[in-house]
Amino acid sequence: MAQSTEARSLAPRLGAWVEDGSRVRWRVWAPGHKQVDVVVYGADDQATRTLPLTPEPEGCFGGVLDGQGAGLRYKLRLDGGDPFPDPWSRSQPQGVHGPSEIVVADHGWTDLHWKGPDPQALVIYEVHVGTATPEGTFEAFIPKLAHLRELGVNTLELLPVASFPGARNWGYDGVDLFAPQATYGGPRGLRRLIDAAHAHGLAVLIDAVYNHFGPDGNYLGAYSPHYFTNHHHTPWGDAVNYDSEGSAFVRSLVLSNVEMWIRDYHADGLRLDAAHALVDDGQPHLLAEIVERAHAAANGRRVVVIAEDERNERKLVTPVKDGGYGLDGVWADDLHHQLRRAFAGDHEGYYQDYTGTADDLAATLRQGWFYQGQKSKNLGHARGTSSKGLAPWHFVHCIQNHDQVGNRPFGNRLSEDVTPAAFRAMSTLLLLSPFTPLLFMGQEWNARTPFLYFTDHNAELGKLVTEGRRKEFAGFSRFKGEQVPDPQDRDTFTRSMLDWSEAERPEHAGVLALYKELLRLRATEPVLTSRQGTHDARTLGPDAILLERRAEGDTVLVIVNIRGSLVHALPPHASAGIVLWSESPRFGGSVEGSPLTGNIVRLDGPSAAVVKLRE
């Protein structure tokens, strides 16, 4: 049964923090327990002292240790049993099973004039820190920031950085929400990366996972049974408890975490993983509170909150005053699925819901997402709501992301499944549409390094993950289950490391030049930057589409041919000029001439032409 608004109010502050520079205070929520002790560890990882905590209201225990500060390491012992890490820990330098560490937000920030991102002008670059550089750390990525700024990206999105088990993981098995992964560089490294990003004019979003917590190193249940509820179920088992008995403390776990990323790390917002699995039957909904708390913690800076949500649910980005949750954006994968069906021929699993026809591609471009209440063959029920009236920038589109690459059995990128010409055409459509584009690291040079699913679990859990992964793909016709790389094998991880030297090779340099030019146009062409502009999309026969952008009396046409030959006559009264041609040799193509002759556009095979019309 959902709790009242009063019962859902913010719980007392929990965790451990430094007061007055020379003492540490703890507060632990452990209802049902009779005794909670802090066990302090020395440099040799041996326990040096024990501090009994005092019972407080609402099932909490608290205490203070004088003469201590940042760097103190500790665990918590419940009723005299084995000590566990603090589930509200701000640092886990020895991993999710080791002692927790006291940290303070003492970074010397240089971004005092940073105002935050413009939610209507985001160009997002998705990065997995562990595979983005050979070192796999926050600080090792700092030298790459200049490349992103030169490329035309303005927002860096980090896959989850909360502490996860082992050294190798996508991050979605995180268990210590407040503790940046130690192998990435921990709290200090993350602060340095975000500060450096702001110096380059780049916003930073944190991918946050609040719909479930990983199994390995998850000690929440030891402290309270109320962290989870059997009233709701998710693909990961019992749901996180956001609306039943004890939920005020569980909500506080999330809302305090939101505040920490924005306030203490100067993050510019969040990407919420699988928001459809955040089950909350109460009021206000947790999603609305996340948005409210993020903005309040920003202290006047602009922040954005974006949800991954498969439902095509308009309520997510509808303002709170109009009955929505007030998020800034939502991942809308329908365009990705239509394009892969059209250019790569994918048809199994959820791709069976998509035709990839020019008609359906055009409809998706007009609407932002394709499914608006039609029945999904894959799901067996209706999916989606109307997108009418929603501004295009609310929809985050991609042609690749970590899920769509990594959840393929061999982690193969789009470059493995479509021709270079098709890749250029798809990229042109993505980056010149009015929707918010997201790039997956290395996409800008059409990287060929795979991004596989990898883990570093204990042997028992790791065996189950390996077996489950292979069983998941056993029924697909394109491969056999036993061929799927072992997620636990270190080679699976190292094969996923991005090879930056590819960008300098001739076969990749043209694509990089194309991306730079497309993003330059997106940022400077008045038709594309206008906040009062409109757009439309329609078919040009069975195998081509036209995306039309209009503003201030001018028109930009993005003409994309999927296959075969296209001859299209532009309006005879308009003055037409070619702006960009995806098959130009400077972009890696092989066609010297212009596709525009007079007012006739001719395209052969997968390709895209960008034309500007003046009446």
> How do residues 380-398 score in pLDDT, each as one tens digit?
999 999 999 999 999 999 9
CA angle, residues 135, 138, 143, in degrees to nearest 5: 80
Q: CA-to-CA distance for 4 and 224, rounded, in angstroms? A: 21
pLDDT given at position 477:
58
Percent pLDDT > 70 in the chain is 96
Instruction: Tell me the per-residue pLDDT of 128-171, one tens digit each, with 9 for 90 and over.
Output: 999 999 999 999 999 999 999 999 999 999 999 999 999 999 99
Do residues 192 and 110 make contact, with C-beta atoms less than 8 angstroms apart? no
Q: Spot the catalytic one: 308, 328, 486, 583.
A: 308
Q: If DSSP codes are grouped into helix, strand and coil, which group holds residue 456?
A: coil
pLDDT grade for 465, boundaries at 50, 70 and 90: confident
Name the pLDDT band for 474 (thresholds 50, 70, 90): low
CATH number of 5-102: 2.60.40.10
The neighbour count for residue 276, using CB atoms within 10 Å, is: 14
pLDDT in tens, 282-292: 999 999 999 99
Q: Do 124-217+248-454+493-519 and 532-614 agree at the fold level?
A: no
Q: Which stretches of 281-435 are assigned E, i.e. beta strand?
A: 304-308, 329-331, 375-376, 381-382, 395-398
Region 92-121: what's the mean pLDDT?
A: 96
- Return mean pLDDT, the chain: 94
Q: Which residues are annotated as a binding site?
A: 271-276, 333-337, 402-407
Confidence label for 230 from pLDDT (cuts 50, 70 and 90): confident
Q: Looking at 176, 243, 273, 313, which residue is catalytic? A: 273
Confidence class of residue 1 from pLDDT cuts 50, 70 and 90? very low
Closest Cα to residue 580, out of 554, 612, 606?
612
pTM over 0.85, yes/no:
yes
Picking from 59, 64, 62, the residue whose alpha carbon sits closest to that of residue 32 is: 59
Residue 10: per-residue pLDDT: 57
**pLDDT at residue 8 in the model:** 47
What is the average pLDDT across 243-262? 96
Q: Is 308 a residue of the active site?
A: yes
Whether 472 is catalytic is: no
Residues comprising the binding site for substrate? 271-276, 333-337, 402-407
- The two tokens of residue 11 are 């719980």
Q: Which has more pLDDT, 1 or 519?
A: 519
| High-pLDDT (> 90) share of the chain, % | 89
Q: Could you give the 3-state DSSP secondary structure of residue 94?
A: coil
The CATH number fitting domain 532-614, selected from 2.60.40.1180, 3.40.50.620, 3.30.70.580, 3.40.30.10: 2.60.40.1180
Q: What angle do CA 596, 597, 603 make, to 5 degrees?
A: 45
Contact of 463 with 421, CB cutoff 8 Å? no
Residues shown for the chain: 615
Candidate CATH numbers 3.40.50.360, 1.10.3720.10, 3.20.20.80, 3.30.70.890; the one for domain 124-217+248-454+493-519: 3.20.20.80
Question: In whole angstroms, what is the distance from residue 141 CA to residue 130 CA?
Answer: 10
CA-closest candidate to residue 427, choices 280, 589, 298, 290: 589
Check pLDDT > 90 for residue 585.
Answer: yes
Question: Residue 249: which of 61, 399, 425, 517 has the closest Cα?
Answer: 61
- Would you say 108 and 266 are in contact if contact means Cβ atoms under 8 Å apart? no
Domain map (residue ranges) of the chain: 5-102, 124-217+248-454+493-519, 455-479+486-492, 532-614
- Contact 181/138 with Cβ under 8 angstroms? no
For the cut 90, the answer to whether the pLDDT of residue 471 exceeds it is no
Ranking 27-31, 204-208, 572-576 by mean pLDDT, the lowest is 572-576
